[in-house]
Structure 1
Amino acid sequence: LGLGGFVALLAAVAPQVAKADARTDPEERPGVRLLDSHHAKHHARHHEKKEEGTGGSGDDTSWPKIGGHWGLAVPLVSFTDEDTTGIFADFIQVGIAPGITVKLNEKWAVDFEFIAFSRWQFSDNGTPARASTSIVVDPGVVYDFGSFSGGLRTAVQVGEGVPFNLGLVPIINKGFPITERLKWFVELDLPFFFTGTPGDGGVSFTPLVQTGIAF
């Protein structure tokens, strides 16, 4: 068989081989099966990463997140431009402090809090004892420093007979884990209030301690 005959043989056989290969099931071709398997694994990993980033089957890293807290607030002492009064000596006051927290990321959060206070003022120098109830609305921002959190709130007190007022409240908060999603916290609030009526204004500073459960 000469060179010319060999070339003619290849020309005759090649189309038949191509047709047979086209009819072969891809599952029966090892090379194709290996390529398809690699593509499927890559595709699956891509979807796993996507699910993790959007709160799917992986770790939940999506932001913002919603949390909250419930606590009791107790003022310790009150300084005004008129006098100084202390708890148990001049008054008893306790507040219930629920709040909703929007966690923007691992460090920053916006906290929507209000405190409902009940106060019993003791009689003094002929002034009869009296009781009152008021609400302080004090949303603010909180930053997680790691070992503790700190922040600043804006505040206004609402209630019968309450004059014009506006407050700024620096806070320091320390949490102690109870479970993975629940912790007990202790917080020091340092509220400065500007108060007044037409023709008469004043300033007050009333440190208070707050403690409760955060989630």
Structure 2
Amino acid sequence: MSLKSIFLFILLLSARLSFSQTSYPKITGYFGIMHPIVTINKDETAVNFRDYYAVGFPTGINIWKNEKIGFSFEVVPNIKDDQGTSKVTNLLFHPGILVALGHGYTFAGRAAFESSGRYGFTPVLNKTLIKSSNCSYFAAIPLPVRFGNDHPASFTVGFQFGIAF
């Protein structure tokens, strides 16, 4: 069984568990699409959709300890198309702490470990837009800060949307 199959199985199991749970800890899963909008470092400012096209696919599991605090583990494969050539450029491991802020807002403070050799942190502000009995649709603003691998420190502003179940 491949790592991809195992992760999919855990994700589907967590979705099934989240429908039947009414107490804590509560397990939920999610999938999204993340577009970095602009990345700034001391040498340049790169704009997605203008200079290249990059997209990430955050997939994760949240374990809520109670209605206010939780832990999240996210994996994000990133794809970049630059001058007609596309490839997976990076795999991001993104564990973090969740804090429910009320009114559908959640703050995620994530550590970041990239297969490209970069590391850092990502504060994320998340807002549930539509909530039904089966799933929720959300939008988020991730603000990645990255260091390492002989590149200057960088700051990115992104936009993410997705579905949680």
Please give the range of the TM-score, normalised by the shorter of the 2 chains.
0.7 to 0.9
Matched, 1:151 2:151: no
> Counterpart amino acid of 1:108?
I
**Alignment partner for residue 142 of structure 1, among 77, 98, 103?**
98
Q: Which structure 2 residues correspond to residues 107-122 of structure 1 after superposition, within 5 A?
A: 107-122=68-83
Q: Deviations over 1:160-208 (max 9, x none)?
A: xx3x3211101100002331241100010000001233xxx52011111
Matched, 1:81 2:53: no
Q: Distance in 2 between matches of 1:61 and 1:70?
A: 22
Q: Distance in 2 between matches of 1:184 and 1:88?
A: 24
**Alignment partner for residue 145 of structure 2, among 184, 192, 206?**
192
Other-structure match for 2:121: 168
Q: 1:185 to 1:135 in 2, by over 3 A?
A: same
* Equivalent pairs, count: 144
Q: Deviations over 1:68-100 (max 9, x none)?
A: 111111110111222111012101011111101
Deviation beyond 6 Å, 4+ runs, structure 1 = none
Matched, 1:71 2:35: no
Q: Distance in 2 between matches of 1:130 and 1:195?
A: 25
**What do you get for the CA RMSD once the two structures are aligned?**
1.9
Other-structure match for 2:153: 203
> Counterpart amino acid of 1:63?
Y
> Counterpart amino acid of 2:98?
V
Q: Distance in 2 between matches of 1:151 and 1:178?
A: 19
Matched residues, percent identical?
29
Greater fraction of residues in strand: 2
Give 1:61 shift: 4.9
**Tell me, what secondary structure is at the counterpart of 1:62?**
coil
**Tell me, what secondary structure is at the counterpart of 1:145?**
strand
Q: Distance in 2 between matches of 1:74 and 1:121?
A: 15
Give 1:131 shift: 3.8
Alignment gaps of 5+ in structure 2: 1-20
- TM-score (norm: length of structure 2): 0.80
Q: Distance in 1 between matches of 2:70 and 2:147?
A: 26
> Counterpart amino acid of 2:72?
D
> Counterpart amino acid of 2:120?
G
Q: Distance in 2 between matches of 1:61 and 1:189?
A: 29
Q: Deviations over 1:7-56 (max 9, x none)?
A: xxxxxxxxxxxxxxxxxxxxxxxxxxxxxxxxxxxxxxxxxxxxxxxxxx
Q: Distance in 1 between matches of 2:146 and 2:45?
A: 15
Which of structures 1 and 2 has the bigger CA Rg?
1
